[in-house]
Amino acid sequence: MDIRQLTDVINTFVTDKGWYDEASTYPQTPRNIAISVAVEAAEILEHFQFADQPKDTAALAGELADVANYLFQLAYLLDIDLEQAILNKLKLNYERNWE
């Protein structure tokens, strides 16, 4: 499955839950999704608080998936080709020097 197909699966889920509806309790606006990315990223950090390795990798995997889901959704909502954005960023980073 590629990024576009995965984005379609995520959008089907969000649509099925009714979260794209205008009257949704959980409006899926770019602002709200960006906030959700930060919230879920913080939940990743909890797995490393006071530990070098996570105790529960399955739970950590769930948090990583939450972040990815929101990132894919945000890219969709803002009409950003996430696959191309990742490739562009990797190309740019190859040209950078962090010394």
Q: What is the CATH number of the domain that holds 8?
A: 1.10.287.1080
- Which residue carries 């080709």 as its tokens? 81
Residue 98, pLDDT score: 85
Structural domain count of the chain: 1
Per-residue pLDDT tens digits for 4-27:
999 999 999 999 999 999 899 999
Residue ranges making up the domain that contains 46: 3-95
pTM for this one? 0.90
- For the segment 16-57, what is each residue's pLDDT rounded down to a tens digit? 999 999 899 999 999 999 999 999 999 999 999 999 999 999
Which amino acid is it at 68?
Answer: A
CA dist 51 to 38, 46, 61, Å? Answer: 21, 9, 17
